[in-house]
Structure 1
Amino acid sequence: MKCCLNPDCSHPQNHDTTKFCLECGTPLILLRNRYQPIKPLGSGGFGQTYLAEDLDKLHELCVIKQFAPQVVGTAAIAKATELFEEEAKRLQQLGDRPQIPTLFAYFEQDRRLYLVQQYIAGETLLQELASQGKFSELKIKELLVNLLEILQFIHQHRVIHRDIKPANIIRRTPPKLAALGEVTQQESPSPPRTTADLVLIDFGISKQSTGTSQTELGTSLGTVGYAPQEQIQMGKANAASDLYSLGATCFHLLTGVSPSRLWQAEGDRWVDNWQQHLPTPLSGKLTKVINKLLQFDPEQRYQSAAIALADLTGNRVSSNKHKVKIKEICLLGIIPIILLLITQSYGYFKYKLAPLNQLFIITFIQNTTRQQGEFLVSACTGEQPCDRWVSSLAMSQNSDFLANGDADTKIKIWDLKTKQLRRSFNGDNFPIEALAVTPDGRMVAGAAHNGKLKIWDVTAGQLKREMGGRNYPFNTLTFSPDGQTLVGANTDNAIEIWNWQTGKLVRTLKDHTDLINSVVISPDGQTLISGSADNSIKLWDFKTGELKTTLVGHSEGIKSLAITPDGKTLVSGSSDRTIKLWDLAAGEMRKTLVGHSGAIDSLAISADEKTLASGSSDNTIKLWNLETGAIETTLLGHNRTVSFLSVTSNGKTLVSGSQDGQIKMWHFSN
């Protein structure tokens, strides 16, 4: 079948041999010479959605979103266009993840915008509710665990969904059960559920823009009943807003009662009496969690998905309780299996994971007689959700200590020799998004999600300076080589240069058009380098702020940067799954390294400039020979994206931090 792309066509489907729509006469075209629309899926304020086949991938199914907003007025159309483009940017920013549709393409053709994304076979939870009835408590707990993990991930990437509801969550049908061309499928016998069974869709929130026309309850600010009052009335949305929508979604699935209908009758205060609609009472723990998700006052709600997940799963327990759990795991024989899998994965070097006691999650050492020695194995193996994540990580230049930020909203300083906690600093009750340590190791700077910058004296344990706080969170920080200047990139796509000793903002650099994910400064302090989701790398004169040159070569956004100690080579990692090596003096790309199956989120270079380490959303760390570009080994052990990497000054230990809530120390030798 072929499908007409005229959004006003009343009968868009045509036979394969037809060249012009039999209903409206519109030419039946291939998009980008490869995407063949075959069936309309639905429509909204932004335009139409179609099921399509990718002819370059053996007719693999995909979804095409066509931008044709149902609004009037130049300002309304401009806003709708912006939101449609934002959906593409968000999908690209979030990369490849089973719980989020992958972006394949975004382009303009015949004066219309199109977004092509992964097709998810299955039915929405709204359809599942209609076909199977109200959800049980067990089913809601499973759903909450899965969705809280998804929200934890997208919120870490500073994305707020703003329209979570049953219609925007699909339960994926296992591939072997999915029939070609089917958009929904009734429940069939299926293998055990995993986190990837639930997929969060519709990141555009472009169903309706401001203008003269009105639509049903879906708006550019979310869906009333599901979205909290601060989002609907004031346009303010943050992580707590998404968590409210998740609570409303659980309520709908438990009761079969639409929050939108309750809102029409009672307004936002329907949440005060939500329990009276339950067919049967819930357990105390689940009641407490949903009740906190649905708090009218945003300050009384959960402020992060990680904290809600902790309350739901009960992972916040004492060390003694964790030891009991660990003993049970050992008795079941799981740890030896994990150890065997890990040890078999190591190749050229011999690695061992060093003990790092009680860092984020309770850990222990499992002794083994294998050549690799001792391995640290966490009680949080990825099969169960963690109530902490590694939101930021920084190591002192002499490798004396490690600083981390996590869901506790504090900065923790760990002694790398004793593996003990030295100090912790309060982060203003906001997750710490970025960290940096001065070259002399005396000061640590932390950026909270509220946009504030704080600098502490590590030895004295005193707050020395507080700066910023303009509601634009910093997603990366670094100190200049002389330690006098702090540089940060914020979510306003700007680089801010601060004299941290005076607390004065020295300069703001703006030329990137999208999120800046990484900044580094050359060892001689002359050049500031920034990498952005706009696919470009920019080199700035650090003293004057003048833009010197722009490096272009990646096909997708830049996620990470590293520079060799001699200052001659820049290494960039991208969402396009490649690593590129650049000659900084010539401003030319020298080499492209390919080996990861996911975005390159972190990079580190050994002091001897021989080894490059890369961490990826494919959950692996790869070690490369920096001279030849060959992969020397792949390290397995993390269960989520490896977001942070650092090599100790002696070059013998690699430290990795991951969204699985674990920090690992990898020791290696020839």
Structure 2
Amino acid sequence: MAKNKKNQPWKEKWIFVKDLGSGGQGYTQVVKHKDTTASEEFYVLKTLKNQEDAERRKRMHREVTDLKTLDSPNIPKVIDSNSEEFNSNVPLYMVTEYIEGNTLKQQILEQGVIDFSVAINFIKNLLKVIEYCHESGIFHRDIKPDNIIIRNNKLDDPVLIDFGISFNEIYVDETDLTGTWQQLGNRFLGLPEFRLKSNFQRDPRSDITQSCGILFFMLTALYPVELRDQEDKKPHQRHENQKILSKISADYLRLLNTIFDRAFEWQLDQRWQSIPELEIALSRLSEPIINEQKNDIRNSIEAIRNQLYSSPDYTLKSLFKSLVDKIVKEIRDTGFAIGRELGDGFSPSITTGGDEKLGKIDFAKLRFIEQFNIENIFSNKNFVAKFIGYATANEIVVLSERNEEKIELLRVSLNGEPDLVSFRERLRSFYLKGVETSI
């Protein structure tokens, strides 16, 4: 690397116009091509601060690859790059489209907070760009005001830039970049899943949370900074921030707060889980608020629904119940099937007090208990299978008891689908061993 340290291969094609600044990884400049005669034909040159850093070099190559994968007017196109030489000692660079306009940060610094309806429309357009990235398997992970350009300063045309720490699902099996020992994030909004030793650094829901942070910034001109402050308050609940937000119509503010309540939850599984889900909530903020005195019933129903369905507690319990229904159904179906296979004299039954509902769920503790009985009527002996399921931070764990020994039968993400085939086989083995021991 030392031999080429002063070499600047980009100068073979590109002429410096002005500096744009520097970020954590590189420098950016406005340039124009040597062969062009039109001074308006500008582009953006990005070079690395530390050309000898193998990780930074490989990350630039990944960024170029990601940008070439994406084809959207709201994402800059790659014009030129030598990033494919990341394994060599040649200094790397990339050149992209130059987007005319302020960054969102510059816009707020110059003009102050954005009008409420304009901000909502802006976020909805930004979410469409983010959703396109997610559908292409790319998660940005660094959505902040500096990384959004307002094309021609028109607040309906956001352009998402700087994919320097993005993650592409095609690299899901590679661990050489952003392993769990590394910390991601920015000073705009620190997320717990981006901290050291997190297994959720490659989760698209973080982009959704950051986009809600952008909405908060547009309405307050303040960074949300963190999901919880020293008083355990979310960004929109802090006293000074409430004063700024109080200028919004009370009807809209009530709905906006339900969005922020969920957006800034600490646990990832309790925040907004998908962009379409968030878009539905935002659409209510785009509709005119009708005179409340003439629509008391409608508004009351709407308020109850917003409070209920936007509640992370409701979402968590709903996910829990949905999984429990599937798990308990499999416990019962497999138990009855075993009884039929064993033949005459074996009588399977549910032993939860005759309650035909699926399991006995304790929503306060997010636990359920299920018992299933396989009796032999000739020997008057029976095997009582007891199952206990409970939710951890992000999973449901199902345990069974046999001879006072606890056996784990299933572990599944609250947002996932249980592997019912494997679960059924474990249940069959568990039932048959229990019947054999008991009878």
TM-score normalized by the length of structure 1 = 0.35
1:52 match: secondary structure: strand
Q: Does 1:142 align with 2:106?
A: no
Say whether the 8 Å CA contact 2:9–2:91 is kept in structure 1: no
Partners of 2:208 and 2:245 lie apart in 1 by 23
Match of 1:295 in 2: 265
Q: Does 1:200 align with 2:166?
A: no
Match of 1:387 in 2: none
- 1:306 alignment partner, one of 266, 276, 286: 276
One-letter amino acid matched to 1:118: E
Match of 2:224 in 1: 259
- 2:146 alignment partner, one of 150, 167, 171: 167
Which deviations, in whole Å up to 9, do the C-alpha atoms of 1:435-488 show, x marking residues without a partner? xxxxxxxxxxxxxxxxxxxxxxxxxxxxxxxxxx99xx9xxxxxxxxxxxxxxx
Which deviations, in whole Å up to 9, do the C-alpha atoms of 1:550-571 show, x marking residues without a partner? xxxxxxxxxxxxxxxxxxxxxx
Partners of 1:147 and 1:131 lie apart in 2 by 21
Say whether the 8 Å CA contact 1:269–1:296 is kept in structure 2: no
Change in 2 beyond 3 A, CA 1:137/1:46? same
User: Which deviates the most, 247-256 or 276-285?
Assistant: 276-285
Partners of 1:308 and 1:238 lie apart in 2 by 16
One-letter amino acid matched to 2:206: S
Say whether the 8 Å CA contact 2:190–2:227 is kept in structure 1: no
One-letter amino acid matched to 2:220: T
Match of 1:477 in 2: none
Say whether the 8 Å CA contact 1:152–1:304 is kept in structure 2: no
> What is the Cα deviation at residue 313 of structure 1?
1.4
> What is the Cα deviation at residue 56 of structure 1?
4.4
Match of 2:81 in 1: 106
Could you say what the CA RMSD is over the residues aligned between the two structures, in angstroms?
A: 3.8
Structure with the greater alpha carbon radius of gyration: 2
Match of 1:68 in 2: 49
Which deviations, in whole Å up to 9, do the C-alpha atoms of 1:501-543 show, x marking residues without a partner? xxxxxxxxxxxxxxxxxxxxxxxxxxxxxxxxxxxxxxxxxxx
Partners of 1:136 and 1:130 lie apart in 2 by 14
Partners of 1:225 and 1:263 lie apart in 2 by 11
Which deviations, in whole Å up to 9, do the C-alpha atoms of 1:393-443 show, x marking residues without a partner? xxxxxxxxxxxxxxxxxxxxxxxxxxxxxxxxxxxxxxxxxxxxxxxxxxx
> What is the Cα deviation at residue 202 of structure 1?
0.7
Which deviations, in whole Å up to 9, do the C-alpha atoms of 1:560-608 show, x marking residues without a partner? xxxxxxxxxxxxxxxxxxxxxxxxxxxxxxxxxxxxxxxxxxxxxxxxx
Q: Does 1:79 align with 2:79?
A: no
Match of 2:241 in 1: 277
Change in 2 beyond 3 A, CA 1:290/1:221? same
Give 1:576-615 correspondences, 5 Å limit: none
Match of 1:226 in 2: 189
Partners of 1:107 and 1:229 lie apart in 2 by 35
Partners of 1:232 and 1:166 lie apart in 2 by 21
Which deviations, in whole Å up to 9, do the C-alpha atoms of 1:164-207 show, x marking residues without a partner? 1111111011xxxxxxxxxxxxx6xx7xx54xx2101111139x
Say whether the 8 Å CA contact 2:227–2:265 is kept in structure 1: no
Match of 2:203 in 1: 238
Partners of 1:295 and 1:88 lie apart in 2 by 33
Change in 2 beyond 3 A, CA 1:132/1:300? same
One-letter amino acid matched to 1:103: V
Say whether the 8 Å CA contact 1:227–1:244 is kept in structure 2: no
Partners of 2:99 and 2:273 lie apart in 1 by 30
Partners of 1:127 and 1:264 lie apart in 2 by 26
Which deviations, in whole Å up to 9, do the C-alpha atoms of 1:249-293 show, x marking residues without a partner? 222222222233x67963985447257613133413333223322
Say whether the 8 Å CA contact 2:17–2:30 is kept in structure 1: yes
Give 1:408-557 correspondences, 5 Å limit: none
Say whether the 8 Å CA contact 1:226–1:249 is kept in structure 2: no
Q: Does 1:42 align with 2:17?
A: no
How many residue pairs match? The answer is 262
Partners of 1:40 and 1:130 lie apart in 2 by 20
Give 1:17-32 correspondences, 5 Å limit: 31=10
Partners of 2:237 and 2:228 lie apart in 1 by 15
Higher strand share: 1
One-letter amino acid matched to 2:245: T
Say whether the 8 Å CA contact 1:30–1:36 is kept in structure 2: no
One-letter amino acid matched to 1:87: E
Change in 2 beyond 3 A, CA 1:268/1:43? farther
Give 1:613-632 correspondences, 5 Å limit: none
2:45 match: secondary structure: strand
User: Which deviates the most, 284-293 or 273-282?
Assistant: 273-282
Say whether the 8 Å CA contact 1:53–1:61 is kept in structure 2: yes
Change in 2 beyond 3 A, CA 1:263/1:298? closer
> What is the Cα deviation at residue 32 of structure 1?
7.0
TM-score normalized by the length of structure 2 = 0.52
One-letter amino acid matched to 2:204: A
> What is the Cα deviation at residue 51 of structure 1?
0.8
> What is the Cα deviation at residue 30 of structure 1?
7.0
Higher helix share: 2
> What is the Cα deviation at residue 48 of structure 1?
1.4
One-letter amino acid matched to 1:242: D
Match of 1:564 in 2: none
Which deviations, in whole Å up to 9, do the C-alpha atoms of 1:348-400 show, x marking residues without a partner? xxxxxxxxxxxxxxxxxxxxxxxxxxxxxxxxxxxxxxxxxxxxxxxxxxxxx
2:18 match: secondary structure: strand
1:266 match: secondary structure: coil
1:38 match: secondary structure: strand
Partners of 1:146 and 1:106 lie apart in 2 by 29
Q: Does 1:250 align with 2:229?
A: no
Partners of 2:35 and 2:228 lie apart in 1 by 48
Match of 2:400 in 1: none
One-letter amino acid matched to 1:138: S
Change in 2 beyond 3 A, CA 1:54/1:223? same
Say whether the 8 Å CA contact 1:229–1:268 is kept in structure 2: no
One-letter amino acid matched to 2:44: V
Partners of 1:269 and 1:90 lie apart in 2 by 37
One-letter amino acid matched to 1:62: Y
Partners of 2:236 and 2:276 lie apart in 1 by 24
Partners of 1:291 and 1:58 lie apart in 2 by 53
Match of 1:118 in 2: 97
